[in-house]
C-alpha cells in the first residue's frame, strides 16, 4: 500500500475527528491519529485496518503542550511519512462567564484551538509546497461569525481559525496546496459535555451528526473550497449576522448560549 496518501488528524479519538478518520480511510488514505486517549485511537485504527487495510500511526499527545507540534512532526519524520493532508480538528470549549472561568483552562483552550493549529500548519506546509500538492483542513465553527457571550474565548478562537485559514488559502493560490476551513454548527459529540454546556438553549434547536459534518469538510477539501459551513440552517444563520447590528447579534448569541 506504498502508494497510499497519508492524512494526519488531530482529535481523532472522538466526535468529528473520528469520523474524519473513517472517511479518509474509506478514501484509501493511511492515517496519523493524534489525541490524548490512546485506547480510543487504537480501537479506531484496528477498526479501519479491518475495514479498509488502513495503516495508522498513533500518537498519544496532549496538544496543549507547547512542545507537542514539534513532537508530532518528529514522529512522522521518523516513520518516514509524507503528510498529504493535515486536519486540524482538535479543540475544546469552556462554558461560563469569562471572569469566573478557570484561567489555566482558558489559556489551554487558546493554546490548542489557536496556537497548536497555527504551529502544525506552519510545520507541515513547507513540504507540501515543495511537492506542489497537499491540503490543510482546519475545523472552526459557526461560532466564528459572531461574538459568543458565555463562551467568549471559544468563539474568539474560532474567529481566528476562520480568518487565518481564509488568509493563507489566499496566499497559497496557484501553489497546488489548498486550505479549507470547516464551520460546523451544533454537532452531537462529546464537545458540549466536556465544555459543561449541555443546558444551552442552542442545543434545543437541534444538532447535526458528526459523520455528516465530517463529510461536508472532506468534500470541501477535495473541491479546494476555502470555507464550508455545514448544514443549510447554519449557513443561513451565518449569513444573517452579516447584515445585522453587531450589538443585536451579540445579544442574540447570548440568548442562544443561555440555559
Residues 8-27 touching ligand NAP, rule: CB under 6 A, are 11-17
Residue 221 sits in the site that holds ligand NAP (CB under 6 A): no
Task: Tell me the three state secondary structure of residue 216.
Answer: helix
Minimum separation from the CB atom of position 186 to ligand NAP (A) = 4
Inter-CA distances, 104 with 107, 113, 186, 233, Å: 5, 14, 25, 35
Residue 189 sits in the site that holds ligand NAP (CB under 6 A): yes
The nearer residue to ligand NAP, 92 or 235, going by C-beta atoms, is: 92
Residue 135 falls in which region: left (phi positive, over 0), alpha (psi -120 to 50) or beta: beta
Q: Report the alpha-carbon distance of residue 32 to residue 51 in Å, rounded.
A: 17
Residue 91 sits in the site that holds ligand NAP (CB under 6 A): yes
Residue 184 sits in the site that holds ligand NAP (CB under 6 A): yes
Pairing relationship of beta strands 208-209 and 187-188 according to DSSP bridges: parallel
- The DSSP 8-state label assigned to residue 142 in this structure reads G
Considering the candidates 95, 124, 154, 160, report the single residue annotated as catalytic: 154
Residue 148 sits in the site that holds ligand NAP (CB under 6 A): no
Residue 117 sits in the site that holds ligand NAP (CB under 6 A): no
Find the part of the chain contacting ligand NAP (CB under 6 A) among 32-40, 96-104, 124-132, 239-247: 32-40
Choosing from 85, 120, 139, 151, the residue that interacts with ligand NAP (CB under 6 A) is: 139
Q: How many CA atoms lie within 13 A of 119 on its CB side?
A: 19
Instruction: Write the DSSP assignment of 3-58 as a string of letters.
Output: T--EEEEES-SSHHHHHHHHHHHHTT-EEEEEES-HHHHHHHHHHHHHHH---EEE
Residue 191 sits in the site that holds ligand NAP (CB under 6 A): yes
Find the part of the chain contacting ligand NAP (CB under 6 A) among 59-67, 73-81, 218-226, 238-246: 59-67
Helix (H) or strand (E) holding 211: helix 210-223
The nearer residue to ligand NAP, 29 or 191, going by C-beta atoms, is: 191
Q: Is 154 a catalytic residue?
A: yes
Choosing from 30, 94, 146, 187, the residue that interacts with ligand NAP (CB under 6 A) is: 187
* Pair 52, 28: CB distance under 8 Å: yes
* Pair 90, 97: CB distance under 8 Å: no
Count of C-beta atoms within a 10 Å radius of residue 49: 14
The nearer residue to ligand NAP, 131 or 143, going by C-beta atoms, is: 143
Q: Report the alpha-carbon distance of residue 65 to residue 49 in Å, rounded.
A: 29
Residue 141 sits in the site that holds ligand NAP (CB under 6 A): yes
- Contacts with ligand NAP, residue ranges (CB under 6 A): 11-17, 35-37, 62-64, 89-92, 112, 139, 141, 184, 186-187, 189-191, 194
Active site residues: 154
Amino acid at each position: 500500500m506504498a502508494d497510499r496518501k497519508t492524512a494526519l488528524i488531530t482529535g481523532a479519538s472522538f466526535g468529528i475527528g473520528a469520523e474524519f478518520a473513517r472517511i479518509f480511510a474509506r478514501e484509501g488514505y493511511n492515517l496519523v491519529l493524534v489525541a490524548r486517549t490512546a485506547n480510543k485511537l487504537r480501537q479506531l485504527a484496528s477498526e479501519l485496518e479491518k475495514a479498509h487495510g488502513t495503516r495508522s500511526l498513533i500518537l498519544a499527545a496532549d496538544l496543549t503542550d507547547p512542545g507537542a507540534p514539534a513532537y508530532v512532526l518528529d514522529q512522522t519524520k521518523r516513520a518516514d511519512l509524507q503528510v498529504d493532508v493535515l486536519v486540524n480538528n482538535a479543540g475544546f470549549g469552556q462554558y461560563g462567564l469569562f471572569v469566573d472561568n478557570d484561567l489555566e483552562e482558558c489559556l489551554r483552550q487558546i493554546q490548542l484551538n489557536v496556537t497548536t493549529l497555527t504551529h502544525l500548519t506552519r510545520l507541515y506546509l513547507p513540504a507540501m509546497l515543495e511537492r506542489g500538492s497537499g491540503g490543510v483542513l482546519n475545523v472552526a465553527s459557526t461560532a466564528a461569525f459572531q461574538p459568543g457571550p458565555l463562551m467568549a474565548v471559544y468563539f474568539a478562537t474560532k474567529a481566528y481559525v476562520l480568518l487565518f485559514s481564509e488568509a493563507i488559502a489566499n496566499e497559497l493560490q496557484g501553489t497546488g496546496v489548498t486550505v479549507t476551513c470547516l464551520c460546523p454548527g451544533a454537532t452531537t459529540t462529546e464537545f458540549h459535555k466536556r465544555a459543561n454546556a449541555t443546558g444551552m438553549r442552542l442545543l434545543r434547536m437541534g444538532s447535526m451528526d458528526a459523520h455528516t459534518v465530517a463529510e461536508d469538510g472532506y468534500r470541501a477539501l477535495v473541491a479546494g473550497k476555502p470555507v464550508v459551513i455545514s448544514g443549510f440552517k447554519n449557513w443561513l444563520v451565518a449569513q444573517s449576522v452579516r447584515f445585522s447590528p453587531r450589538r443585536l447579534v451579540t445579544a442574540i448569541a447570548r440568548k442562544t448560549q443561555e440555559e
